[in-house]
Structure 1
C-alpha cells in the first residue's frame, strides 16, 4: 500500500502547556502533516504531549517518533495507545523501535539487553499490541483498528 509523501516535525523541547499548544498550532499553520514526539528521557512524555497537540490542532496526524519498546510493558502500552488514539480522534500514529541509548535504560533502571534481545522484545511488543488492540474485548478501545 503506497502512501503520499508527507512532512513531519519533531517536537523535542519541554514547554509550558500554552507554549506547547502554540508550537503545535504553528506546525499546523506551516502545513506539517504529522507532529511527532520521540521517547527519550529529558524530553516531553509522548502520550500526554500528543493529547495536548490534538487539543490545539485539527488536521495533523500525531505520532511517536520513535517509541522505545524497552521502556514499555506491552499490556500497559496497549492501554496508553488506545486511550491516546481515542483522545486524539483517531489521529495517532505509533512508531516503535528497540531503543538504542544504554544510558537511558540505566537511568530508568531497565535492562538494556543485547541487540537480539531488544529486537525480540520489540517483536513480542508488536505482536501483543496487535492482539490486544485488535480484540473487541480490549478496554479502552482505540478509535482506529490496528494495521
Structure 2
C-alpha cells in the first residue's frame, strides 16, 4: 500500500525562469519521508528525541522526466520495496497535472543517534514498514 501526499512547488523552490530547482526537490522529499513515517505512527520528533533513531539517506537515484513549474501541485507516491536489517528501500514517483516529473530509488538506514552506527529496525517500526511492502518482479531485497 503506497503512501500518497501532495506538496506545492513554491516560488522559492524554482529558478528565475519558474522551473523547479532540483535541489529543492530533495528538501521537499525529506518532508514527504517525514510524513510517511508519521503516517505509520512514528513521527520523527519522537524517533529523534525519544527513541534516538535517525533515518539518513545512503543512496538516492533520481531520474528527471520533465520539468516542474512554480505553482504545480506535486503528487508524491512512496512505495516500500525492501526492508533489510537496518535498511529500507523506497521508490518515489512525483507527478504534476497527471504527468510524471521524476522518479527515485531511495535507500535509508536506521541508525542510533548516540553511536552513529546502523541499528536494526525496532520490531514495531519493522511491522509497520512490512505492512506497506510492495513486491514487484524487479524487487531486490534490501541488505
User: Which TM-score applies when normalising by structure 1?
Assistant: 0.28
Q: With CA pairs under 8 Å and 6+ residues apart, which has the higher RCO, 1 or 2? A: 2
* Structure having the larger proportion of residues in helix: 1
TM-score (norm 2): 0.28
Structure holding more strand per residue: 2
